[in-house]
Amino acid sequence: MKQVEQQSQVAWTQHLLNWYDVHKRDLPWRESKDPYRIWVSEVMSQQTRIEAMRPYFENWVLQFPTLESLASAEEDTVVRAWQGLGYYSRARNLHQGVKEVVETYGGQVPRSRKEMESLKGVGSYTAGAVLSIAYNLREPAVDGNVLRVYARLYNIHEDILGTVGKKVITSLVEDTMPYDRPGDFNEALMDFGASICIPKTPRCESCPLVQDCKAKAEGTEQVLPIRIKKTKVQSVQLYVGIISTVDGYYLLHRRPKEGLLQNMWEFPSVEGGTAESRKVELIEGLQSIGVTVTMERPMAKEVTHIFSHRKWTMKGYRGEATEVAIDMPNPIVLEGDEAVQQAVAEGQIIPLKEDWILCRKEAFHVLPWAGPHGKFIDLC
Ligand code: SF4
């Protein structure tokens, strides 16, 4: 069984190489096996389409034809030559990495993965690409292209953006790489992924591996690869006012009926802007509900709270309510909960306008607190 599996692996890798021999893209950095040029082309092709980067590559090797010429150039000159490609840190890292090769390796791009990956800006993919293409070493170069192609060929339903998916596929690439033409094999995968097994709609009708493809056999070629994107967490700074009156009440706000922490109680707060602009916004906002405050120093406590999509960094500021208008129009309606009604009846809670109240610390426990704000209660 194992032997049959190995034979079929040999079959598809050979089919791929046969296809590559006919359809290989004609690219300027493929004219030689110069590791420096291959390195430059790999760095340039990150985040840039091959066709768009071609003229940049040609100009680059005119200006810096050798590793030494790039190493001895001024950084400004290097960055200027990169203009139009964006992501200037890539140019600076390449420049730095090339200098390291000159200083540490006598101008010879190292032949070991460990040494390659120790160079500035060189990651696992670039190291694998340079070592396999320039030196024909059997080193995988696994990028998004390769992950997609293998996920389909082997019908792998692991998330290719996750550690497990990457590990499974990298190990498959290591197992299936041919011994005789590893560089060509990596380049063949690049070309195949760019022209046949493309991201959304693979061109299976023209695919030389259609008989070898497990996803095609199972009908999952449109579903694969699985990519589970992590949600970006938005960072928000909050200015939180712990504002009390001279007779021991604290100013509290009920959050809106919809959205995050709906209907829960919080200290007055403002998000975004600078600390100063948030302070002004808070003071003006409270004036509109008839409360005049003076804000004092920041408190020592800072609270961080992470929701699924947001991260709040909350800094508490102590303040004093010097004037509070009690009988404003549109007073808050506190209905339902018996404990709240009792606290109102006993004068522990004083309803104000809209969604605001004054509340003594002793009555805090009758209110449902917005969790992150509850962390400031011990400072009251
Ligand atoms: S048959 Fe389709 S999905 Fe499978 S490798 Fe070829 S192009 Fe990709």
The structure tokens listed for 172 are 């498959």
Residues of the chain with CATH 3.90.79.10: 234-379
The 10s digit of each residue's pLDDT in 99-138 is: 999 999 999 999 999 999 999 999 999 999 999 999 999 9
Q: Report the nearest atom of ligand 1 relative to the CA of 221.
A: 3
Q: Confidence band (pLDDT; 50, 70, 90) for 4?
A: very low
Task: State the pLDDT at residue 308.
Answer: 75
Over the chain, what is the mean pLDDT? 91
- CATH superfamily assigned to domain 234-379: Nucleoside Triphosphate Pyrophosphohydrolase (3.90.79.10)
DSSP string, 9-50: HHHHHHHHHHHHHHH----GGGSS--HHHHHHHHHHHTTS-H
The 10s digit of each residue's pLDDT in 156-165 is: 999 999 999 9
Question: Can you tell me the distance from the alpha carbon of 236 to that of 53, in angstroms, rounded to the nearest whole number?
Answer: 38
Task: State the pLDDT at residue 45.
Answer: 93
The 10s digit of each residue's pLDDT in 353-368 is: 888 999 999 999 888 8
273-299 average pLDDT score? 86
Task: State the pLDDT at residue 5.
Answer: 47
173-197 average pLDDT score? 96
Task: State the pLDDT at residue 189.
Answer: 98
Task: State the pLDDT at residue 3.
Answer: 45
Task: State the pLDDT at residue 279.
Answer: 85
- CATH of region 2-218: 1.10.340.30
Q: Confidence band (pLDDT; 50, 70, 90) for 38?
A: very high
Check pLDDT > 70 for residue 152: yes
From ligand 1's centre to the CA of 293, what distance in Å?
67
221-230 average pLDDT score? 91
Task: State the pLDDT at residue 1.
Answer: 40
118: Cβ contacts below 8 Å, ≥ 6 apart: none
41-65 average pLDDT score? 93
Mutation test residue for ligand 1: of 221, 222, 223, 226, the one with most atoms within 8 Å of CB: 221
Is 42 considered catalytic here? Answer: yes
Are the C-beta atoms of residues 126 and 120 closer than 8 Å to each other? no
Task: State the pLDDT at residue 9.
Answer: 52
Residues of the chain with CATH 1.10.340.30: 2-218
Name the active-site residue from 42, 100, 158, 266. 42
φ and ψ of 220, to 5 deg: -110, 10
